[in-house]
């Protein structure tokens, strides 16, 4: 097998690992990975719009709507049509949503973060730049992907309100 094929094997393993994590999350915490990421975003910026979320987490608006629908049907979020601009819909966590968020583990396997953080600095850098380089080579340079955002901050800094335009 060629090197680049082996590379793809590993990439697909990573993709599956992420998928598996998401399903596990869904079973244990009642929310999937993407749902969790969006909940975190709503926690970070109160009254954020779907558009803003979609920019921040770098998913299409349609995907965000889709996920919001599910979160809403679980009563984890509220949609409030804006009065000043009736095209916009402001998004808020419900108490249930906050609860779910607090009880949910990280979207990434904790053990991964631990293991990774325990590596020497240059090793971390090594891994990171390898992956970045591959992303680059795959023409992914133009793509903006979202970080898997940090939890915390349920009630702090919701002042990052005004990022209307990119």
- Interface with a copy of itself (CB under 8 A), residue from 124, 153, 154, 163: 124
Binding at 63: pick from DNA, a copy of itself, none (beta carbon under 5-8 Å per type): DNA
Query: Of 10, 43, 31, which Cα lies nearest the Cα of 107?
Result: 31
Binding at 102: pick from a copy of itself, DNA, none (beta carbon under 5-8 Å per type): none
If one asks whether residue 19 binds DNA (CB under 7 A), the answer comes out as yes
* Smaller CB separation from a copy of itself, 95 or 166: 166
If one asks whether residue 28 binds a copy of itself (CB under 8 A), the answer comes out as no
Is the separation of the CB atoms in 77 and 94 below 8 Å? yes
If one asks whether residue 138 binds a copy of itself (CB under 8 A), the answer comes out as yes
- Interface with a copy of itself (CB under 8 A), residue from 27, 73, 86, 139: 139
Task: Give Cβ neighbours of residue 163 (< 8 Å, ≥ 6 apart).
Answer: 52, 55, 56
- Shortest Cβ 139–a copy of itself spacing (Å): 6
Which residues inside 52-111 make contact with DNA, applying CB under 7 A? Answer: 52, 54, 58-63, 65-70, 79, 84-89
Counting other chains too, the contacts that 59-65 makes at CB distance below 8 Å and 24 or more residues apart are 59/34, 59/146, 63/34, 64/38
Which residues inside 51-90 make contact with a copy of itself, applying CB under 8 A? Answer: 58
């Amino acid at each position: 097998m060629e090197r680049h094929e082996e590379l793809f094997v590993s990439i697909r393993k990573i993709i599956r690992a992420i998928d598996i994590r998401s399903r596990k999350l869904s079973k244990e915490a009642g929310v999937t990975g993407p749902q969790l990421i969006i909940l975190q975003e709503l926690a970070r910026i109160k009254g954020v719009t779907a558009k803003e979320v979609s920019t921040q987490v770098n998913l299409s608006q349609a995907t965000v709507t889709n996920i919001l629908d599910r979160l809403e049907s679980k009563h984890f979020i509220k949609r409030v049509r804006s009065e000043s601009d009736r095209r916009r819909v402001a998004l808020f966590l419900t108490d249930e949503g906050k609860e779910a968020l607090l009880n949910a583990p990280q979207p990434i396997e904790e053990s991964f973060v631990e293991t990774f953080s325990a590596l020497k600095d240059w090793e971390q850098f090594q891994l990171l730049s390898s992956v970045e380089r591959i992303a680059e080579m795959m023409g992914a340079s133009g793509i903006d992907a979202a970080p898997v955002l940090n939890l915390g901050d349920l009630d702090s800094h919701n002042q990052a309100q005004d990022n209307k335009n990119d």
